[in-house]
Homo-oligomer: A and B are copies of this chain.
Amino acid sequence: MVYQTMEIPEGPDAATSTGAVPDGAATRTLAEFVAGTPVAAIPAAAIAAARAAVVDTLGVALAGLDEPPSRIAATAALAPGAAGLAPLWGRGAATSPADAAFANAVAGHALDFDDSLPSLCGHPSVPLCATGLAVAAALSRRGRPVDGTTFLAAFVAALEVAGKLSRALGHGHYGKGWHPTATLGVFSATAMACRLQGLDARTTAQAFGLAAAQSGGMVRNFGSMAKPFQAGHAARAAIVAADLAAAGMTAAEDIFDGPRGYLAAYGDGPPAPMPVPGDPWEIFVPGIYVKRWPCCYGNHRALAGIFDLVARHGIAADDVRGVAVGFLPDADKALIHRAPNDGLSAKFSIEYCAAAALVDGRVTLASFEDAAVRRPEVQALMTRVRRVPMPGEGSFSGVVGWTDVAIDTVRGRFEVRVDHTPGSPEAPMTEADRSDKFRGCVTGRLGAAGAERLFAALGRLDRMSDVAALAALMEPAP
């Protein structure tokens, strides 16, 4: 599961932001922001965007439950035999909040089908949801239920933390080999846990110190089960950090700032000024990118182009003589397989994804079953997909840049340039796309009726009185 490069918009955007946090004040600013921003100060549109992110995240997590790392993590999470304070999603079992957050986050990232935040260079929602719902479950059992709007407001505020830290760190963090989903995700997840528990700013700052003490995750582990493990570690570490800070474990109150601080150590060169949190909101700029198809993001613009051409010109697979996909420099670097023969490698192959899109008219989780990949008609069409290098300055990815698609058919050549990444704010998924994705992820486990019940409940998430009630809806009917 290779993760593609994304450009980080560094520093505050003069057009939209009032400026940067003064040197040395990053930790205090973030802690005060997380602890002190009232729900009323968070725009309704941000709450709605967070709700959409939760829907998508719980869907892909349920879809990922049978992946090998998810099963290993769940077994490990249940092994200690802890009191069942927090549920393992969809497994009819519960364990400690830390272990539940770990196993649920592994499931959420196992398919690499979860959402992205370009400013983070990573996947923001899985650690946030896994940590937040584990904390909410434990609070509910202690008679302090977390209502839906409180939960979503915490999500929006906590998302700021990793996004703004990543802008201060700059590209060098990913470039030196760290996996921001985990290394920085732990701070958003810690913020989520602290805010839901009602910790004050000083305790939240100390929780950041304890989270920094556990911050890890390496790009080098991509392509192995350790990638989702890292998301799970971030979620577990966040629970540990928040719980121990709440219990009185002290830590540095300025962990991000100054020489030998987190930003200095985990960057490559001096950190940039950190933009002011909430100005603008990360959930608006750059916004959360939702993956429409369960494969590497490097395929997505090309897939959008293929579906567009097919729809506009009524192209049938049998008519296709060849497909040419134009990639900007590095934009196909993550697509390491040209002749895949199983589902996992097929996710990293434009040759397969293009052929499956043309043969099936859609790309779903079923497209990445081994048998689907080995179909002779698909394997034959794959050989007629060509990659065409396009000139460009810099490095591009499935999230940054554009992609050209040309399909040669018996009726002539059809071409399109795709400028926007499917699922991005510039090319958002429709409501129908989103509900289709959710049903495709969830129906296999919950059945059609169960999927609709969960989808309906998530549609009212902001009005739920106790988000812990979601867990029961994530279980198959008995």
Contacts and interface: CB of A to CB of B under 8 A. Distances in A.
A209 to B, nearest CB: 5
Interface string A195-228: 0000000000010011011111111110111100
Interface string A267-296: 000000000000000000000000000000
Copies in the complex: 2
A69 B249 contact: yes
B244 A224 contact: no
Contacts of A254: 220
Contact of A176 (B98, B178, B248, B260): B260
Interface in A161-185: 175-179, 182
A469 interface: no
Given A81-B83, A218-B262, A261-B177, A76 B247 contact: yes
Interface residues of A, number: 60
Given A76-B247, A229-B213, A249-B72, A264 B82 contact: no
A233 interface: yes
A182 B213 contact: yes
A252 B96 contact: no
Contact of A83 (B68, B80, B209, B260): B80
Interface string A240-263: 100110011111101100011110
A404 interface: no
A251 B217 CA distance: 11
A475 interface: no
Interface centre among A81, A220, A240 (most CB of B within 10 A): A220
Interface string A89-103: 000000110110000
A215 B216 contact: yes
Nearest to A98: B80
A339 interface: no
A250 B264 contact: no
24 contacts: A69-B249, A72-B244, A80-B83, A81-B82, A82-B82, A177-B260, A210-B229, A213-B216, A213-B218, A213-B229, A213-B230, A215-B216, A218-B262, A220-B260, A220-B262, A221-B251, A221-B255, A224-B250, A224-B251, A225-B250, A229-B244, A229-B249, A229-B251, A233-B240
